[in-house]
A and B are shown apart, each in its own frame.
Chain A
Amino acid sequence: MTGDRWRRIADQIEDVDVSLSLGRRFCVVVSDLLSADKASLALVVNHATSWIEGSDDAAVILDEQQFSLGDGPSFLAVDSLAPVMAIDMNSPEALRRWPAFAPVAIRHDAIAVFSFPLRVGEARLGVMSAYRSRPGELTAAEYADGLVLASLATMALLQQQAGVSPGDLAAAFLPGVTHQSPVQLAAGMVSEQLDIPIIEALVRLRAYAYSHEQSVNSVARSVISRELAFHEEEEQ
């Protein structure tokens, strides 16, 4: 039971052609598992995309448009920190709900859009989206796969930002490695110590763990027990 879905999907991502970029590897697996025609991964800072990778140019444009229009499932997923499922962009409800984005989606043949926020607690990284040319919902299994993919993408991107070699995904893909309570508690402490956003604190913890060859969990424990303080580290 424990970690089965996680392990299966992590293995699938690790098996994708390693010559592709990290984002493209995710897009391949997202398209496959969510039966989508296009997929994208976007980093978002203050409601603007800072980096987008898509399975094709149209996927990138669809993401860009949503953030420049301030409308659409990907935009809302980041804003609300919850997955957003738009099952038929041609429907009157969709045109009402996404007045600016629906016409763009239809033009690019994105009839169903499924967006999952890349988040850990209140730490927001961005969004993962899947685009289908046909209307319809995700199955429960596809939805669960989507959540796991979003979690894996979050871990991989945190690791990438922490300066860990992008080839080394295995460490990012240990189940529960950043979800565990102590890591979140420690991230809060580091965020306050350095007066930095929580997302940056999570990256710092990871970077410290990597450079000191420790697990993120053991670094978190040192922070909680106050053996390690990042503001004191910086002064040295």
Chain B
Amino acid sequence: MTTSTGTTFELPDASQLAAAFVDLARSVNDGKDMVEVFSMLAERCVTVLSVAACGILVIDPIGELEVIGSSNHSAHLLDLFQVQNVEGPCLQCCRTGEAVIDTELSETGPWPGFASAARSQGYLAVYAVPLAARGVVVGALNLFAHTAIQDEEIAVAQALADAATIALLQADPREDALVVTRRLHMVVEERNTIEQAKGILSQRFSIDAEEASVQLRRAGERTGTRLVDVATAVVTRDNSYDAARLLANPIT
């Protein structure tokens, strides 16, 4: 395929792409919690697209953009999500419902603070693709790249965003506004519980948040427990859960 710049571009490996969609569908069917589904999706985006980092943000009932899934958990990346409550591509994307592409990240552009923070992390291009269903925008998929990606990849990102939105809502936001509000609220609170559990484990094992996240997932996988249930058991120190007992020591 030839793009306008004349360089050759190959679409993401079709099998990888298919795997991303299958994963998403399967995890929803398996009853995995939404935070887990979205973290997987964010990781998949990084595998399938030529981007360095990915995050999924939803507009919570309060009106704040909240990160519910991200490809990695570095504090710098979280800051880049957070700052977009004030300015940045995600905020604009959520306001307009249109995808936002910024390959300039100019300090004289529409979001100078965000642009300079992104640049200082080595990113040269940022994308925000709406999470929307039937005209109602509920959040954005945020991509960070070291070099600009192609239009075709943005289309793939949009398709993944659409799949994620369907998984998130399972309702028509025009007709079931209350259901959608409820789900958005629950997913943010689940994220809060998971963060609290990560904090407990990072203190217990002297590890960082990223490693704590891995520990939580391992405990879930070993015991067949949903991530949010593992997190709840950790936070409430409920040792009736195998997962909580398992996490008395680091899982290798």
Select the stretch in B45-53, B117-125, B179-187 that faces chain A. Answer: B179-187
Q: Is B37 interfacial (CB 8 A cutoff)?
A: no
Q: In the complex, A176 Cα to B199 Cα: how many Å? A: 19
Task: Out of A176, A187, A188, name the residue touching B62 (CB < 8 Å).
Answer: A176
B188–A192 touching, CB < 8 Å: no
CB–CB B202/A1 < 8 A:
no
The chain A residue sitting closest to B199, CB to CB, is A188
Q: Is the CB of A182 within 8 A of B75?
A: yes
The residues in A between 67 and 124 inclusive whose CB is less than 8 angstroms from any CB of B are 81-83, 119-123
Tell me how far the C-beta of B31 lies from the nearest C-beta in chain A, rounded to whole angstroms: 16
Provide the bound-state CA to CA distance between A6 and B63, in Å.
Answer: 7
Instruction: Compute how far the CA of A143 lies from the CA of B202 in the bound complex, rounded to whole angstroms.
Output: 36
Contact with B along A144-178 (1 / 0, CB 8 A): 10011001000000000000000000000001100
Q: Say yes or no: is B29 at the interface (Cβ < 8 Å to chain A).
A: no
State how many angstroms separate the Cβ of B132 from the closest Cβ of chain A: 14
B186 neighbours in A (Cβ, 8 Å)? 82
- Cβ–Cβ < 8 Å partners of A5 in chain B: 61-63
Encoded as 1 (CB less than 8 Å from any B CB) or 0, chain A from 1 to 15 comes to 111111000000000
CB < 8 Å: which of B59, B63, B194, B196 contacts A187? Answer: B196
Interface string of A177-189 (1 = CB under 8 A from B): 0011110111111
Do A144 and B61 touch (CB < 8 A)? yes
Asked if A22 is at the interface (CB within 8 A of a chain B CB), the reply is no
Interface residues on A, range: 35 or more
Which residues of the partner chain B approach A82 to less than 8 Å between Cβ atoms? 182, 186
- A188 and B91 form a contact (CB under 8 A): no
A35 at interface by CB-CB < 8 Å: no
Complex CA–CA separation, A83 to B182 (angstroms) = 8
Stretch at the interface among B14-22, B102-110, B228-236: B228-236
Residue B94 at the chain A interface, CB threshold 8 Å: yes
| B202 cross-chain contacts in A, Cβ below 8 A | 185, 188-189
* Complex-state Cα separation, A181 to B80, whole angstroms: 13
How many residues belonging to B are interface residues under a CB distance threshold of 8 Å? 43
> A138 contacts the other chain (Cβ, under 8 Å)?
yes
Q: Is the CB of A3 within 8 A of B63?
A: yes
- What residues on B are CB-neighbors of A221 within 8 Å? 75
* Chain A residue with Cβ nearest B177: A140
Q: Which residue from A1, A143, A185, A193 sits with its C-beta under 8 Å from B59?
A: A1
Using known A-B contacts A140-B181, A179-B188, A188-B235, determine if residue A147 contacts B61 with beta carbons closer than 8 Å. Answer: yes
Once the chains are docked, how many angstroms separate the CA of A120 from the CA of B202? 19
Which of B1-9, B64-72, B142-150, B160-168 contacts its partner? Answer: B64-72
Cα-based distance from A199 to B236 in the complex (angstroms): 10
Q: Is B245 an interface residue (CB 8 A)?
A: no
Q: Which of B192, B194, B201, B209 is the most central at the interface, judged by chain A CB atoms within 10 Å of its CB?
A: B192
Show 20 A/B contacts (Cβ-Cβ < 8 Å), sorted by A.
A1-B59, A1-B63, A2-B65, A3-B62, A3-B64, A121-B193, A122-B235, A144-B61, A147-B181, A147-B185, A175-B63, A175-B64, A176-B66, A181-B67, A184-B193, A184-B199, A185-B196, A187-B196, A188-B202, A224-B209
Binding site for A on B (CB under 8 A): 59-67, 75, 78, 82, 85, 91, 94-95, 177-178, 181-182, 185-186, 188-189, 191-204, 209, 231-232, 235-236
Interface residues of A (CB under 8 A from B): 1-6, 81-83, 119-123, 137-140, 143-144, 147-148, 151, 175-176, 179-182, 184-193, 198, 221, 224
What are the 6 tightest A-B residue pairs by CB atom distance, in nearest-first order? A188-B199, A121-B192, A140-B177, A184-B195, A192-B203, A122-B235
A3-B85, A83-B182, A189-B200 known; 19 other A-B pairs, CB under 8 Å? A2-B59, A82-B186, A120-B189, A121-B189, A121-B191, A121-B235, A122-B196, A140-B177, A143-B182, A176-B66, A179-B60, A179-B188, A184-B196, A184-B199, A185-B209, A188-B202, A189-B199, A191-B235, A198-B196
